[in-house]
Structure 1
Amino acid sequence: MLTDEQAARTWLAALPEWTPVAEGRLERLISALNVENQQQNLVAAATLDRVWLRHVADSAQLLSHVPRETSNPWIDLGAGAGFPGLVIAILRPDISVHLVESRGRRIAWLNTAVEHIGLANVTIHGARLEQVETFPVRVISARAFAPLPRLIDLSARFSTADTVWLLPKGRSAAHELQDLAGWKHLFHVEQSLTDPEAGVIVGTLIGPDRSGKKG
């Protein structure tokens, strides 16, 4: 379990995706985030002193559930401040990352951040998810986007048999998964590396379940 900024940075530096270029880009992201957060509440102000732990490592831990050979693309729903989407794009410049965000000021921030950092592998969809054209993806991530049933209803059309779902859900992860009905899946909860009370729902979606069973 990572507990502080130093531990988070040490863990990040040991990742196979870590490079001097990635480190520099993450530094630029954090610097820009601190400035923009004074204009709009992208993240809770109290978390800025723990940004490497609370946002960067918290995002990067998702990569441990994705094989290195995983191909394009990755879609991040409700991208907001850019976590985990921008962190993934920085650490995996070989993957095309699609960020979906409908709020105007967040869209403006994401565009500014992508340009400031110099990311060529990011596509921003400035629209509600319902308005985004369907395309198959290899990874779906969503951090605080919607309750699990609603999230799956909205995004299942992007999923294939090979799509990995990575859904940080905080302390509600196990409860939401237990109560999920209407879908056949191979989801399970992984312990978060950055929060002892949080979990990440990980797995694949099989398809609709007409039996009405939960879990």
Structure 2
Amino acid sequence: MIADEGAAREYCARYLDAEGLSRLDRLTTMLAAENRQQNLVADATIAAVWQRHYADSLQLLQHAPEGEGVWLDLGTGAGFPGLPVALAQPRRVVVLVESRKRRVEWLAQSVEALGLANVRIVGTRLERADTVAAQVISARAFAPLTRLLPLATRFSSADTTWLLPKGRSAVQELAEQSAAVQQMFHVEHSVTDAGAGILVGRGVPAT
């Protein structure tokens, strides 16, 4: 379990080289400044950004398939997990879907500053986004499963991996789903929060 910022940075170094870590340092400065202008993340998490946002994002890679298929990050907000994932996997196209205009502007600034040529930003509601075949679909605090799965199913195939950080509600939320959804997903423990879980699934949900 990652207990502090030093351990979180060491964890991130498993997935990023020195240049990647430096880019996250740059993102930290930008995030702190922008957070004074708009509420991108909870203020209290800025001091623990490596644990609460960077390591929390990069831990999804241990459950992701190999390959260079599209990673679709729904309701990406401030860019998590999408931005750290894009840094760690530069050969993979990462599509960030975000409907709020000011956050879309922030994402565009971040992508440019970090030099992320593999990132595409879709600045619209998910319902209006063009369908893309995703190898991985992630969504961090975007919507409950009962709403998320019907919205996102059209982006999935039998080979799609779903990575859905659900905090401390993961087990309960999965238990409230249909038998088919419960069979499709399982819960993995978070490495950044002992009480949090990640719903990991594969395939096309039966919605």
**TM-score w.r.t. length of structure 2:** 0.96
Question: Which runs of no fewer than 5 residues in structure 2 stay unpaired?
Answer: none
Find the partner of 1:79 among 73, 76, 80. 76
Matched, 1:66 2:59: no
Look up the SS of the partner of 1:39 in the other structure.
coil
Report the equivalent of 2:16: 18
Find the partner of 1:133 among 130, 136, 146. 130
Question: Which runs of no fewer than 5 residues in structure 1 stay unpaired?
Answer: 210-215
User: Could you tell me how far 1:183 is from its partner in structure 2?
Assistant: 4.4
Q: State the percentage of identical aligned residues.
A: 54
Q: CA–CA distance in 1 between the matches of 2:27 and 2:184? A: 34
User: Could you tell me how far 1:166 is from its partner in structure 2?
Assistant: 0.3
Please list the CA deviations of residues 148-168 of structure 1 after superposition, one character each: whole Å capped at 9, or x if unmatched.
111001001101111110000
Q: CA–CA distance in 1 between the matches of 2:205 and 2:5? A: 40
> Contact 2:189–2:197 (CA<8 Å) still a contact in 1?
yes
Please list the CA deviations of residues 61-89 of structure 1 after superposition, one character each: whole Å capped at 9, or x if unmatched.
0000013x322100000010011010101
Q: Which residues in structure 2 correspond to 1:177-192 (within 5 Å)?
A: 177-181=174-178, 183-184=180-181, 185-192=183-190
User: Could you tell me how far 1:186 is from its partner in structure 2?
Assistant: 2.1
Report the equivalent of 2:171: 174
Report the equivalent of 1:50: 48
Q: CA–CA distance in 2 between the matches of 1:206 and 1:53? A: 31
Q: CA–CA distance in 1 between the matches of 2:77 and 2:106? A: 9
> Contact 1:74–1:139 (CA<8 Å) still a contact in 2?
yes
Aligned residue type for 2:3: T
4+ residue runs over 6 A deviation: none
Report the equivalent of 2:109: 112
User: Could you tell me how far 1:135 is from its partner in structure 2?
Assistant: 1.5
Aligned residue type for 2:24: L
Bigger fraction of residues in helix: 2
Report the equivalent of 1:202: 200
User: Could you tell me how far 1:182 is from its partner in structure 2?
Assistant: 7.5
User: Could you tell me how far 1:207 is from its partner in structure 2?
Assistant: 3.8
RMSD over equivalenced CA pairs, Å: 1.3
Matched, 1:4 2:1: no
Q: CA–CA distance in 2 between the matches of 1:4 and 1:123? A: 32
Q: CA–CA distance in 1 between the matches of 2:119 and 2:170? A: 28
User: Could you tell me how far 1:115 is from its partner in structure 2?
Assistant: 0.8
Q: CA–CA distance in 2 between the matches of 1:207 and 1:5? A: 37
> Contact 2:153–2:204 (CA<8 Å) still a contact in 1?
no
Cα 1:134–1:49 shift into 2, 3 Å:
same
User: Could you tell me how far 1:205 is from its partner in structure 2?
Assistant: 3.1
User: Could you tell me how far 1:18 is from its partner in structure 2?
Assistant: 1.7
Matched, 1:100 2:91: no
Look up the SS of the partner of 2:138 in the other structure.
strand
